[in-house]
Amino acid sequence: MENESIKKIYKTYSGVYDLIFKSFFHPRQKLAINDLDFQPGDRILDVGVGTGLSLPLYPETCDVTGVDLSSSMLKQARKKVEKLSLTNVTLIEMDACDLEFEDNTFDYVVATHIISVVPEPVKVINEMRRVTKPEGKLVIVNHFVSSKPWIARVENFFDPAFRKLGWRMDMNFEDFITSTNLDVLHTTKLNKIDLWRVVHAKNNKHLC
Ligand SMILES: C[S@@+](CC[C@H](N)C(=O)[O-])C[C@H]1O[C@@H](n2cnc3c(N)ncnc32)[C@H](O)[C@@H]1O
C-alpha cells in the first residue's frame, strides 16, 4: 500500500483508534516495553507511534521521540502528551522508510503494529538498525501468520480484506527474520495462542 493510501486510512481511524484498538494492542505494548532495562538518559525512538498509546510506558527519565507518517494520528498523540504532561516526548511527522536521524542516535528503537502496515518492511528495519547505537536494541511487535495450517488458511483467506483496512495478515515470521537479518535475542507472546509476537533483537549493525 502506498503512503498516500496509508495516510487516508489512518486519518479515518485516528479519532476512534484508541476506542477500537487500545484494549487489543496495549497489552502487547506493555509486554514489549515493560521489561526493557532503560537507563536514565537513554534515547528511545518509537516508529509509527500512532496515537501514542505506548508513550506513558517509557520512563520519564528517558528522552522519547515518536514518529509517524500520519499527521492525524500524531494529533491524537499530541493530545495525550499534553494531557499526561509527558515533557520527555517529542513527536515528528516522518516516514519510517527514510528516518531523518543520524546513524547511531538511539539506545532503543521500538515499532509496534507497524511492520505489517508498511509496503517495505525490510527498508524500515534497516532504517531502525541504522539509527540504533551499535549496542542498542530493536523491539518489534507484529502479527505473524500462524504455524497451524488451518489458522494460516483463515488468515490468508482474509488477507486481501485486511489489506483494504490497512495491514497485511500473511507475514511469515521465519521469512521476516531471514529477509531482515534480525539478530533475535528472544521472542514472547501474550499467551500461547496469540498471533502477535514481541521480538527483542540486538543491533547487528554490520548486517545493515
Ligand atoms: C496499526 S497503527 C500502530 C500505531 C501504534 N504503534 C500502536 O501500536 O498503537 C500503524 C501506524 O503506523 C503508521 N505508519 C504507517 N506507515 C508508516 C511509515 N511509512 N512511516 C511512519 N509511520 C507509518 C500509521 O500512520 C499508523 O499510525
Model pLDDT for residues 71-122, shown as the tens digit of each residue: 999 999 999 999 999 999 999 999 999 999 999 999 999 999 999 999 999 9
Query: C-alpha grid cell for residue 9?
Result: 486510512
Does 198 map to a domain?
A: yes
6 lines ligand 1 (CB under 6 A): yes
Higher per-residue pLDDT: 1 or 86: 86
Q: Which atom of ligand 1 is nearest to the CA of 167?
A: 1
Does 43 map to a domain?
A: yes
Domain that holds residue 46: 3-202
Does 208 map to a domain?
A: no
69 lines ligand 1 (CB under 6 A): yes
Res 206 pLDDT > 90:
no
Which pLDDT does position 43 carry in this prediction? 98
Does 207 map to a domain?
A: no
Confidence band of 55 (pLDDT split at 50, 70, 90): very high
Does 72 map to a domain?
A: yes
53 lines ligand 1 (CB under 6 A): yes
**At 130, which CATH number?**
3.40.50.150
- What three-state secondary structure class fits 9? helix
How many domains is the chain built from? 1
SS3 content of the chain, % helix, strand, coil (to 5): 40, 25, 35
- What three-state secondary structure class fits 146? coil
Q: Which residues contact 138 (CB under 8 A, 6 or more apart)?
A: 108, 109, 110, 111, 125, 128, 129, 132, 182, 199, 200, 201, 202, 203
Q: At what angle do helices 173-180 and 121-131 cross, to 10 degrees?
A: 50
Does 13 map to a domain?
A: yes
Does 127 map to a domain?
A: yes
- Inter-residue contact 49 to 66 (CB < 8 Å): yes
Which pLDDT does position 174 carry in this prediction? 95
On average, the pLDDT of the chain sits at 94
